[in-house]
Amino acid sequence: MEPTDDDATEFFRELGGRAREPLLAKARGWVRFELLEPDGVDRWLVAIDRGAIAVSHSDGPAECTARLDRALFGQLCRGEANMIAAVFRGAVVCIGDVQLLIEIARLFPAFPADRQPQRV
């Protein structure tokens, strides 16, 4: 499947371009993102080694796999949704090391101040 220039592709390109990510200084492992689309699955593999990050647009073994709709991933990239909340709702299926997904979830933007979720 060919990548398109959308939020997900830009997120992974930008992430792969970072020399180091201080938020992941204690994390190690491989996370595979499987973005579900009507015509298939778009896979991205993120290797984390204590802050060093490598990203490939491929499939491969991983300690953690996150399966979610590509549209939801775009919302995560724009700060319109929260990864952990999406896992609890069942919108993101995490297979494997949940702690690794929690670590990488820190890289997504938070809700903008003017769009904070309402508390009931």
| Residues 27-51: tens digit of each pLDDT | 999 999 999 999 999 999 999 999 9
Structural domain containing residue 59? 7-107
Contact 33, 57 (CB under 8 A): no
Residue 37 lies in a domain: yes
Which residues, 6 or more positions from 74, have their beta carbon under 8 angstroms from its beta carbon? 6, 7, 8
Angstrom CA distances, 62 to 45, 79, 95, stand at 8, 25, 10
Residue 18 lies in a domain: yes
pLDDT at 115 over 90: no
| Residues 2-15: tens digit of each pLDDT | 444 589 999 999 99
Residue 120 lies in a domain: no
| CATH assignment of the domain containing 76 | 3.30.1050.10
> What pLDDT score was predicted for residue 1?
40
Residue 113 lies in a domain: no
Residue 1 lies in a domain: no
Residue 116 lies in a domain: no
Residue 41 lies in a domain: yes
- Strand, helix or coil for residue 108: coil
| Residues 62-104: tens digit of each pLDDT | 999 999 999 999 999 999 999 999 999 999 999 999 999 999 9
Residue 115 lies in a domain: no
Tokens found for residue 62: 């991983």
Number of structural domains the chain divides into: 1
